[in-house]
Amino acid sequence: MKVLLIGSGGREHALASALKRDPSLEELHVAPGNPGIAEIATCHATNTDDNAAVIALAESLGIDLVVIGPEKPLIQGLSDDLRKAGFAVFGPSKAAAEIEGSKDFAKQVMRDAGVLTAHSFTCETREEVERALDTFGAPYVVKHDGLAAGKGVVVTEDRAIALEHALLSPRVVIEEFLDGPEVSLFGISDGKNILAMQPAQDFKRAFDGDLGPNTGGMGAYSPLPWAPDEIVEETLEQVLKPTIAEMAARGTPFVGLLYAGLALTNKGTRVIEFNARFGDPETEVLLPRLQTPLAGLLLKAATRDLKDHPPLQWSDQSAVTVVLASDGYPMSPKVGEPLTGINPIEGSEVFHAGTTLDGNLLKSSGGRVLAVTGLGADLTEARDKAYRVISGITLRGSHYRSDIALNASIAEKGN
Ligand code: AMP
Ligand code: GLY
Protein backbone atom coordinates (compact mmCIF):
# COMPACT_ATOMS: atom_id res chain seq x y z
CA MET A 1 0.00 0.00 0.00
CA LYS A 2 1.17 3.55 -0.79
CA VAL A 3 0.30 6.06 1.91
CA LEU A 4 0.43 9.85 1.86
CA LEU A 5 0.50 11.46 5.31
CA ILE A 6 -0.25 15.18 5.72
CA GLY A 7 1.46 17.18 8.47
CA SER A 8 4.80 18.11 9.95
CA GLY A 9 4.71 17.67 13.73
CA GLY A 10 5.59 15.16 16.41
CA ARG A 11 2.22 13.48 15.91
CA GLU A 12 3.00 12.92 12.23
CA HIS A 13 6.47 11.59 13.05
CA ALA A 14 4.87 9.06 15.42
CA LEU A 15 2.24 8.18 12.80
CA ALA A 16 4.96 7.74 10.17
CA SER A 17 6.98 5.50 12.48
CA ALA A 18 3.95 3.28 13.23
CA LEU A 19 2.86 3.15 9.57
CA LYS A 20 6.37 1.97 8.65
CA ARG A 21 6.00 -1.08 10.91
CA ASP A 22 2.98 -2.31 8.91
CA PRO A 23 4.17 -5.06 6.53
CA SER A 24 1.49 -4.04 3.99
CA LEU A 25 3.12 -0.61 3.56
CA GLU A 26 5.10 -0.28 0.33
CA GLU A 27 5.75 3.46 0.19
CA LEU A 28 5.34 6.24 2.73
CA HIS A 29 5.11 9.81 1.48
CA VAL A 30 4.67 12.81 3.76
CA ALA A 31 3.78 16.42 2.95
CA PRO A 32 5.42 18.54 4.13
CA GLY A 33 7.09 16.38 6.85
CA ASN A 34 10.16 17.44 8.84
CA PRO A 35 13.83 16.41 9.15
CA GLY A 36 13.00 13.54 11.53
CA ILE A 37 10.27 12.17 9.26
CA ALA A 38 12.61 12.51 6.26
CA GLU A 39 14.80 9.80 7.81
CA ILE A 40 12.01 7.23 7.40
CA ALA A 41 9.77 8.52 4.58
CA THR A 42 9.86 10.54 1.37
CA CYS A 43 8.96 14.15 2.15
CA HIS A 44 7.35 16.53 -0.35
CA ALA A 45 7.48 20.31 0.02
CA THR A 46 3.86 20.62 -1.14
CA ASN A 47 1.78 23.48 0.24
CA THR A 48 -0.79 21.53 2.27
CA ASP A 49 -3.06 24.59 2.52
CA ASP A 50 -3.60 24.14 -1.23
CA ASN A 51 -6.06 21.25 -1.65
CA ALA A 52 -5.51 21.07 -5.42
CA ALA A 53 -1.75 20.75 -4.91
CA VAL A 54 -2.25 17.86 -2.47
CA ILE A 55 -4.58 16.08 -4.93
CA ALA A 56 -2.02 16.53 -7.73
CA LEU A 57 0.68 15.05 -5.47
CA ALA A 58 -1.50 12.06 -4.52
CA GLU A 59 -2.33 11.46 -8.20
CA SER A 60 1.28 11.65 -9.31
CA LEU A 61 2.32 9.11 -6.66
CA GLY A 62 -0.59 6.67 -7.18
CA ILE A 63 -1.56 6.88 -3.50
CA ASP A 64 -3.91 4.25 -1.97
CA LEU A 65 -4.61 6.03 1.33
CA VAL A 66 -4.27 9.62 2.53
CA VAL A 67 -3.95 10.17 6.30
CA ILE A 68 -4.50 13.74 7.51
CA GLY A 69 -2.74 14.63 10.77
CA PRO A 70 -3.57 18.22 11.81
CA GLU A 71 -6.95 19.92 12.22
CA LYS A 72 -6.30 22.84 9.87
CA PRO A 73 -6.51 20.93 6.56
CA LEU A 74 -9.59 19.11 7.86
CA ILE A 75 -11.35 22.40 8.56
CA GLN A 76 -10.24 23.56 5.09
CA GLY A 77 -12.06 20.63 3.49
CA LEU A 78 -9.00 18.69 2.30
CA SER A 79 -10.61 15.31 2.95
CA ASP A 80 -13.76 16.31 1.03
CA ASP A 81 -11.74 17.37 -2.01
CA LEU A 82 -9.55 14.25 -1.90
CA ARG A 83 -12.63 12.00 -1.64
CA LYS A 84 -14.22 13.78 -4.60
CA ALA A 85 -11.04 13.03 -6.53
CA GLY A 86 -11.47 9.33 -5.69
CA PHE A 87 -9.01 8.82 -2.82
CA ALA A 88 -9.51 6.81 0.35
CA VAL A 89 -8.97 9.29 3.20
CA PHE A 90 -8.51 8.85 6.94
CA GLY A 91 -9.75 12.18 8.32
CA PRO A 92 -13.23 13.67 8.68
CA SER A 93 -15.02 15.94 6.21
CA LYS A 94 -15.08 19.67 6.83
CA ALA A 95 -18.61 19.34 8.20
CA ALA A 96 -17.68 16.51 10.58
CA ALA A 97 -14.48 18.28 11.72
CA GLU A 98 -16.71 21.05 13.14
CA ILE A 99 -16.86 18.85 16.22
CA GLU A 100 -13.40 20.29 16.93
CA GLY A 101 -13.71 23.55 14.96
CA SER A 102 -16.64 24.87 16.98
CA LYS A 103 -17.07 24.31 20.71
CA ASP A 104 -20.73 25.32 20.34
CA PHE A 105 -21.34 22.71 17.61
CA ALA A 106 -19.69 20.04 19.79
CA LYS A 107 -22.06 20.95 22.63
CA GLN A 108 -25.08 20.61 20.31
CA VAL A 109 -23.93 17.19 19.11
CA MET A 110 -23.40 16.00 22.68
CA ARG A 111 -26.81 17.29 23.74
CA ASP A 112 -28.53 15.48 20.85
CA ALA A 113 -26.49 12.30 21.39
CA GLY A 114 -27.15 12.23 25.14
CA VAL A 115 -23.43 12.45 25.92
CA LEU A 116 -22.59 13.95 29.31
CA THR A 117 -20.53 17.15 29.32
CA ALA A 118 -20.18 20.35 31.37
CA HIS A 119 -23.27 22.61 31.44
CA SER A 120 -22.54 25.64 29.30
CA PHE A 121 -23.76 28.86 27.72
CA THR A 122 -22.70 30.16 24.32
CA CYS A 123 -22.27 33.94 24.61
CA GLU A 124 -21.90 36.74 22.07
CA THR A 125 -22.34 39.89 24.17
CA ARG A 126 -20.70 41.25 27.30
CA GLU A 127 -24.02 40.96 29.13
CA GLU A 128 -24.34 37.28 28.22
CA VAL A 129 -20.74 36.66 29.26
CA GLU A 130 -21.17 38.33 32.66
CA ARG A 131 -24.42 36.49 33.31
CA ALA A 132 -22.82 33.13 32.48
CA LEU A 133 -19.74 33.82 34.62
CA ASP A 134 -21.94 34.68 37.58
CA THR A 135 -24.23 31.70 37.06
CA PHE A 136 -21.35 29.21 37.35
CA GLY A 137 -19.03 31.14 39.68
CA ALA A 138 -15.31 30.41 40.15
CA PRO A 139 -13.28 28.64 38.87
CA TYR A 140 -14.33 30.18 35.55
CA VAL A 141 -13.96 28.23 32.28
CA VAL A 142 -14.00 30.34 29.10
CA LYS A 143 -13.48 28.85 25.62
CA HIS A 144 -13.20 30.68 22.32
CA ASP A 145 -15.62 29.09 19.87
CA GLY A 146 -13.15 28.66 16.97
CA LEU A 147 -9.88 26.74 16.52
CA ALA A 148 -7.12 27.94 18.83
CA ALA A 149 -4.46 25.18 18.90
CA GLY A 150 -5.22 24.37 22.53
CA LYS A 151 -4.74 27.98 23.61
CA GLY A 152 -8.28 29.37 23.39
CA VAL A 153 -9.27 28.08 26.82
CA VAL A 154 -8.79 29.91 30.08
CA VAL A 155 -9.53 28.36 33.47
CA THR A 156 -9.16 30.92 36.25
CA GLU A 157 -10.32 31.92 39.72
CA ASP A 158 -10.10 35.55 38.63
CA ARG A 159 -13.35 36.94 37.20
CA ALA A 160 -11.56 39.91 35.57
CA ILE A 161 -9.19 37.58 33.67
CA ALA A 162 -12.11 35.37 32.61
CA LEU A 163 -14.04 38.40 31.36
CA GLU A 164 -11.03 39.81 29.50
CA HIS A 165 -10.41 36.45 27.76
CA ALA A 166 -14.09 36.18 26.82
CA LEU A 167 -14.14 39.64 25.24
CA LEU A 168 -11.23 38.73 22.93
CA SER A 169 -13.51 36.52 20.84
CA PRO A 170 -16.88 37.30 19.22
CA ARG A 171 -18.34 33.99 20.43
CA VAL A 172 -17.38 32.07 23.53
CA VAL A 173 -18.58 29.04 25.41
CA ILE A 174 -18.63 29.52 29.19
CA GLU A 175 -19.07 26.41 31.21
CA GLU A 176 -19.19 24.70 34.54
CA PHE A 177 -15.79 23.75 36.01
CA LEU A 178 -15.19 19.99 35.95
CA ASP A 179 -13.12 18.67 38.81
CA GLY A 180 -11.19 15.40 38.48
CA PRO A 181 -8.36 13.77 36.57
CA GLU A 182 -8.32 14.16 32.80
CA VAL A 183 -8.04 11.29 30.36
CA SER A 184 -7.69 11.32 26.57
CA LEU A 185 -9.39 8.46 24.79
CA PHE A 186 -9.26 8.06 21.01
CA GLY A 187 -11.58 6.14 18.73
CA ILE A 188 -10.87 5.05 15.15
CA SER A 189 -14.12 5.44 13.20
CA ASP A 190 -15.35 4.42 9.75
CA GLY A 191 -18.43 6.62 10.10
CA LYS A 192 -20.57 3.85 11.57
CA ASN A 193 -18.30 1.64 13.69
CA ILE A 194 -15.67 2.84 16.15
CA LEU A 195 -12.73 1.08 17.83
CA ALA A 196 -11.36 2.50 21.09
CA MET A 197 -7.65 2.96 21.63
CA GLN A 198 -6.06 2.82 25.09
CA PRO A 199 -6.39 5.82 27.40
CA ALA A 200 -3.55 8.31 27.88
CA GLN A 201 -3.02 11.30 30.11
CA ASP A 202 -1.71 14.57 28.74
CA PHE A 203 0.01 17.37 30.73
CA LYS A 204 -1.33 20.66 29.38
CA ARG A 205 0.34 23.21 31.65
CA ALA A 206 3.78 24.55 30.78
CA PHE A 207 5.57 23.95 34.09
CA ASP A 208 6.04 21.34 36.82
CA GLY A 209 3.24 20.94 39.32
CA ASP A 210 0.66 21.91 36.64
CA LEU A 211 1.70 25.54 36.90
CA GLY A 212 1.90 28.13 34.14
CA PRO A 213 -0.16 28.66 31.01
CA ASN A 214 -1.98 26.01 28.97
CA THR A 215 0.06 24.62 26.08
CA GLY A 216 -0.54 22.18 23.24
CA GLY A 217 0.72 19.46 25.64
CA MET A 218 4.05 19.02 27.46
CA GLY A 219 4.02 15.24 27.91
CA ALA A 220 1.87 12.15 28.26
CA TYR A 221 1.83 8.60 29.54
CA SER A 222 -0.07 5.39 28.91
CA PRO A 223 -1.54 3.13 30.17
CA LEU A 224 -3.07 4.70 33.29
CA PRO A 225 -2.51 2.30 36.19
CA TRP A 226 -4.88 4.28 38.45
CA ALA A 227 -7.82 4.46 36.02
CA PRO A 228 -10.84 2.17 36.48
CA ASP A 229 -10.71 -0.87 34.18
CA GLU A 230 -14.13 -0.08 32.74
CA ILE A 231 -13.12 3.35 31.46
CA VAL A 232 -12.48 2.23 27.88
CA GLU A 233 -15.64 0.14 27.53
CA GLU A 234 -17.77 2.75 29.29
CA THR A 235 -16.45 5.62 27.13
CA LEU A 236 -16.92 3.52 24.01
CA GLU A 237 -20.58 2.84 24.83
CA GLN A 238 -21.54 6.17 26.42
CA VAL A 239 -19.46 8.66 24.45
CA LEU A 240 -17.81 7.40 21.27
CA LYS A 241 -20.61 5.25 19.81
CA PRO A 242 -23.47 7.71 20.47
CA THR A 243 -21.42 10.58 19.04
CA ILE A 244 -20.60 8.64 15.86
CA ALA A 245 -24.28 7.64 15.53
CA GLU A 246 -25.39 11.27 15.96
CA MET A 247 -22.91 12.51 13.35
CA ALA A 248 -24.16 9.85 10.90
CA ALA A 249 -27.80 10.74 11.65
CA ARG A 250 -27.02 14.39 10.83
CA GLY A 251 -25.75 13.31 7.40
CA THR A 252 -22.15 14.16 8.31
CA PRO A 253 -20.57 10.80 9.21
CA PHE A 254 -17.29 11.07 11.09
CA VAL A 255 -14.56 9.04 9.34
CA GLY A 256 -11.28 9.44 11.15
CA LEU A 257 -10.00 9.80 14.66
CA LEU A 258 -12.44 11.02 17.29
CA TYR A 259 -10.53 12.34 20.30
CA ALA A 260 -12.51 12.49 23.53
CA GLY A 261 -10.97 14.62 26.28
CA LEU A 262 -12.62 13.38 29.48
CA ALA A 263 -12.82 14.52 33.09
CA LEU A 264 -13.40 11.76 35.62
CA THR A 265 -15.52 13.73 38.09
CA ASN A 266 -17.10 12.44 41.28
CA LYS A 267 -20.44 12.47 39.39
CA GLY A 268 -19.01 10.30 36.63
CA THR A 269 -17.23 10.78 33.32
CA ARG A 270 -17.85 14.05 31.46
CA VAL A 271 -16.55 15.13 28.04
CA ILE A 272 -14.36 18.24 28.21
CA GLU A 273 -13.78 18.46 24.48
CA PHE A 274 -13.71 16.59 21.21
CA ASN A 275 -10.96 16.82 18.64
CA ALA A 276 -11.21 15.55 15.08
CA ARG A 277 -7.67 14.17 14.85
CA PHE A 278 -4.94 12.34 16.75
CA GLY A 279 -3.83 14.25 19.85
CA ASP A 280 -0.33 15.54 20.33
CA PRO A 281 1.61 14.33 22.42
CA GLU A 282 -0.77 11.42 23.12
CA THR A 283 -0.04 9.94 19.68
CA GLU A 284 3.68 9.83 20.48
CA VAL A 285 2.93 7.88 23.67
CA LEU A 286 0.25 5.55 22.26
CA LEU A 287 1.46 4.49 18.84
CA PRO A 288 4.80 2.97 19.92
CA ARG A 289 2.67 0.46 21.91
CA LEU A 290 0.16 -0.32 19.14
CA GLN A 291 0.65 -3.79 17.68
CA THR A 292 -2.25 -3.79 15.21
CA PRO A 293 -0.74 -2.80 11.84
CA LEU A 294 -1.67 0.86 11.45
CA ALA A 295 -1.83 1.32 7.67
CA GLY A 296 -4.29 -1.56 7.27
CA LEU A 297 -6.39 -0.27 10.16
CA LEU A 298 -6.64 3.28 8.82
CA LEU A 299 -7.42 1.98 5.31
CA LYS A 300 -10.29 -0.09 6.71
CA ALA A 301 -11.64 2.99 8.49
CA ALA A 302 -11.28 5.11 5.35
CA THR A 303 -13.11 2.52 3.23
CA ARG A 304 -15.96 2.11 5.76
CA ASP A 305 -14.96 -1.44 6.61
CA LEU A 306 -14.39 -1.66 10.40
CA LYS A 307 -17.53 -3.70 11.11
CA ASP A 308 -15.80 -7.01 11.76
CA HIS A 309 -12.46 -5.63 12.88
CA PRO A 310 -11.09 -7.30 16.03
CA PRO A 311 -10.18 -5.07 19.03
CA LEU A 312 -6.84 -3.28 18.76
CA GLN A 313 -3.75 -5.08 20.09
CA TRP A 314 -1.27 -3.35 22.42
CA SER A 315 2.08 -4.24 23.90
CA ASP A 316 1.89 -4.49 27.69
CA GLN A 317 4.76 -2.05 28.10
CA SER A 318 4.29 1.39 29.63
CA ALA A 319 5.19 4.54 27.74
CA VAL A 320 6.09 8.06 28.80
CA THR A 321 6.55 11.02 26.44
CA VAL A 322 8.30 14.24 27.43
CA VAL A 323 8.20 17.32 25.19
CA LEU A 324 11.22 19.58 24.73
CA ALA A 325 9.94 23.15 24.26
CA SER A 326 11.65 26.30 23.02
CA ASP A 327 12.64 29.21 25.19
CA GLY A 328 9.51 31.32 25.72
CA TYR A 329 6.97 28.61 24.77
CA PRO A 330 3.97 28.94 24.80
CA MET A 331 3.84 32.77 24.89
CA SER A 332 6.61 33.73 22.44
CA PRO A 333 8.77 30.77 21.44
CA LYS A 334 12.25 31.57 20.23
CA VAL A 335 13.20 29.51 17.16
CA GLY A 336 16.28 29.03 14.98
CA GLU A 337 18.52 27.69 17.77
CA PRO A 338 20.91 24.78 17.05
CA LEU A 339 19.80 21.41 18.36
CA THR A 340 22.36 18.72 19.28
CA GLY A 341 22.75 15.59 21.37
CA ILE A 342 19.79 13.59 20.01
CA ASN A 343 20.84 10.04 20.87
CA PRO A 344 17.94 7.61 21.33
CA ILE A 345 18.71 4.55 23.45
CA GLU A 346 17.06 1.13 23.13
CA GLY A 347 13.41 1.38 24.22
CA SER A 348 13.11 5.05 23.28
CA GLU A 349 12.03 7.06 20.26
CA VAL A 350 12.68 10.71 19.50
CA PHE A 351 9.99 12.42 17.41
CA HIS A 352 10.65 15.72 15.68
CA ALA A 353 7.91 18.30 16.27
CA GLY A 354 9.40 21.69 15.36
CA THR A 355 12.78 21.22 13.68
CA THR A 356 14.34 22.35 10.42
CA LEU A 357 17.61 21.82 8.60
CA ASP A 358 19.83 24.82 7.94
CA GLY A 359 22.38 23.23 5.63
CA ASN A 360 23.49 20.26 7.70
CA LEU A 361 22.63 21.90 10.98
CA LEU A 362 19.47 20.89 12.82
CA LYS A 363 17.63 23.89 14.33
CA SER A 364 14.46 24.52 16.28
CA SER A 365 11.55 25.88 14.25
CA GLY A 366 8.56 25.74 16.59
CA GLY A 367 7.37 25.99 20.16
CA ARG A 368 7.40 22.26 20.75
CA VAL A 369 10.66 21.00 19.27
CA LEU A 370 10.94 17.28 20.09
CA ALA A 371 8.88 14.63 21.82
CA VAL A 372 10.89 11.87 23.49
CA THR A 373 9.12 8.58 24.28
CA GLY A 374 10.52 5.97 26.65
CA LEU A 375 9.13 2.43 26.88
CA GLY A 376 9.56 0.07 29.81
CA ALA A 377 8.09 -2.69 31.92
CA ASP A 378 6.45 -0.02 34.10
CA LEU A 379 6.10 3.76 34.17
CA THR A 380 9.25 4.16 36.29
CA GLU A 381 11.38 2.43 33.68
CA ALA A 382 9.65 4.28 30.82
CA ARG A 383 10.23 7.65 32.57
CA ASP A 384 13.83 6.80 33.22
CA LYS A 385 14.45 6.15 29.52
CA ALA A 386 12.61 9.26 28.32
CA TYR A 387 14.46 11.50 30.80
CA ARG A 388 17.84 9.89 30.10
CA VAL A 389 17.46 10.74 26.40
CA ILE A 390 15.97 14.23 26.81
CA SER A 391 18.56 15.32 29.38
CA GLY A 392 21.31 14.68 26.82
CA ILE A 393 19.80 17.07 24.26
CA THR A 394 21.14 20.61 23.99
CA LEU A 395 18.94 23.51 22.85
CA ARG A 396 19.63 26.94 24.28
CA GLY A 397 16.89 28.24 26.59
CA SER A 398 14.75 25.12 26.15
CA HIS A 399 12.61 23.63 28.90
CA TYR A 400 10.77 20.44 29.66
CA ARG A 401 8.67 19.28 32.57
CA SER A 402 10.42 16.98 35.04
CA ASP A 403 7.21 15.54 36.52
CA ILE A 404 5.55 13.78 33.56
CA ALA A 405 3.93 10.57 34.92
CA LEU A 406 5.72 11.08 38.24
CA ASN A 407 2.71 10.71 40.54
CA ALA A 408 1.35 7.78 38.53
CA SER A 409 4.70 5.99 38.68
CA ILE A 410 4.93 6.49 42.46
CA ALA A 411 1.35 5.24 42.92
CA GLU A 412 2.08 2.25 40.66
CA LYS A 413 5.10 1.28 42.78
CA GLY A 414 2.97 1.55 45.93
CA ASN A 415 0.46 -1.03 44.65
P1 AMP B 1 -10.01 22.15 25.86
O2 AMP B 1 -9.31 22.86 24.74
O3 AMP B 1 -11.49 22.29 25.84
O4 AMP B 1 -9.53 20.76 26.06
O5 AMP B 1 -9.47 22.82 27.21
C6 AMP B 1 -8.09 22.82 27.53
C7 AMP B 1 -7.91 22.45 28.97
O8 AMP B 1 -8.64 23.34 29.81
C9 AMP B 1 -8.46 21.09 29.33
O10 AMP B 1 -7.59 20.06 29.08
C11 AMP B 1 -8.71 21.25 30.82
O12 AMP B 1 -7.50 21.10 31.54
C13 AMP B 1 -9.16 22.65 30.92
N14 AMP B 1 -10.63 22.66 30.88
C15 AMP B 1 -11.42 22.81 29.80
N16 AMP B 1 -12.72 22.75 30.13
C17 AMP B 1 -12.77 22.57 31.45
C18 AMP B 1 -13.83 22.44 32.42
N19 AMP B 1 -15.11 22.53 32.06
N20 AMP B 1 -13.48 22.25 33.70
C21 AMP B 1 -12.19 22.19 34.09
N22 AMP B 1 -11.16 22.31 33.24
C23 AMP B 1 -11.43 22.51 31.94
N1 GLY C 1 -2.92 16.92 23.51
C2 GLY C 1 -3.96 17.83 23.25
C3 GLY C 1 -4.34 17.94 21.84
O4 GLY C 1 -3.82 17.28 20.97
O5 GLY C 1 -5.20 18.75 21.55
Percent of the chain with pLDDT over 90: 95
Q: Which residues contact 93 (CB under 8 A, 6 or more apart)?
A: 77, 79, 80, 83, 252, 253, 255
167 and 185 together in one domain: no
pLDDT of residue 128: 97
Position 400 in a domain: yes
255 and 296 together in one domain: yes
Rounded CA-CA distance 92/301 in Å is 11
Q: Which residues pair with 154 in a beta bridge?
A: 142
φ, ψ of residue 106 to 5 degrees: the values are -60, -40
Print burial letters for 346-381: b (CB count within 10 Å at least 16), e (below 16). ebbbbbbbbbbeeeeebbbbbbbbbbbbbbbeebbb
Rounded CA-CA distance 353/8 in Å is 7
**Quick one: DSSP state of residue 398?**
-
Cα of 415 vs centre of ligand 2, distance in Å, is 30
Rounded CA-CA distance 152/169 in Å is 9
260 and 193 together in one domain: yes
Which residue, by CA, sits nearest to atom 4 of ligand 2?
Answer: 279
Give 152's pLDDT tier (boundaries 50, 70, 90): confident
Rounded CA-CA distance 203/281 in Å is 9
pLDDT mean over 40-54:
98
Q: Which domain holds residue 291?
A: 180-302
Give 414's pLDDT tier (boundaries 50, 70, 90): confident
pLDDT of residue 146: 78
pLDDT digits (tens, 9 = 90+) for 89-102: 999 999 999 999 89
pLDDT of residue 36: 98
348 and 288 together in one domain: no
166 and 184 together in one domain: no
Position 115 in a domain: no
**C-beta of residue 46 within 8 angstroms of C-beta of residue 22:** no
pLDDT digits (tens, 9 = 90+) for 35-46: 999 999 999 999
Rounded CA-CA distance 91/276 in Å is 8
Q: Which residues contact 205 (CB under 8 A, 6 or more apart)?
A: 211, 212, 213, 214, 215, 218
Indicate the average pLDDT of the chain: 96
pLDDT of residue 200: 98
H or E segment and range at residue 207: strand 205-207
Position 308 in a domain: no
3 pLDDT exceeds 70?
yes
Ligand 1 pocket, residues with Cβ under 6 angstroms:
118, 141, 143, 150, 153, 155, 175, 177-178, 182, 204, 214, 261, 272-273
CATH of the domain at 232: 3.30.470.20
Handedness of CA 383, 294, 7, 75 (dihedral sign): negative
Position 114 in a domain: no
315 pLDDT exceeds 90?
yes
Rounded CA-CA distance 24/374 in Å is 26
List strand residue ranges (DSSP E) for 77-171, in order: 88-90, 120-123, 140-144, 153-156
Cα of 150 vs centre of ligand 2, distance in Å, is 7
pLDDT of residue 151: 63
pLDDT of residue 415: 63
214 and 276 together in one domain: yes
pLDDT digits (tens, 9 = 90+) for 381-402: 999 999 999 999 999 999 999 9
124 and 12 together in one domain: no
Cα of 218 vs centre of ligand 2, distance in Å, is 10
232 and 168 together in one domain: no
- Ligand 1 pocket test target in 99, 144, 153 with most atoms within 8 Å of CB: 153
Rounded CA-CA distance 267/332 in Å is 38
Rounded CA-CA distance 16/20 in Å is 6
Cα of 194 vs centre of ligand 2, distance in Å, is 20
pLDDT digits (tens, 9 = 90+) for 158-205: 999 999 999 999 999 999 999 999 999 999 999 999 999 999 999 999
206 and 291 together in one domain: yes
Cα of 104 vs centre of ligand 1, distance in Å, is 14
Which ligand 2 atom is at minimum distance from the Cα of 275? 5
- Ligand 2 pocket test target in 15, 71, 74, 184 with most atoms within 8 Å of CB: 184
Q: How many domains does the chain have?
A: 4
CATH of the domain at 66: 3.40.50.20
169 and 192 together in one domain: no
234 pLDDT exceeds 70?
yes
pLDDT digits (tens, 9 = 90+) for 339-357: 999 999 999 999 999 999 9
CATH of the domain at 388: 3.90.600.10
Position 340 in a domain: yes
Position 108 in a domain: no
Q: Which residues pair with 186 in a beta bridge?
A: 259
Cα of 186 vs centre of ligand 1, distance in Å, is 17
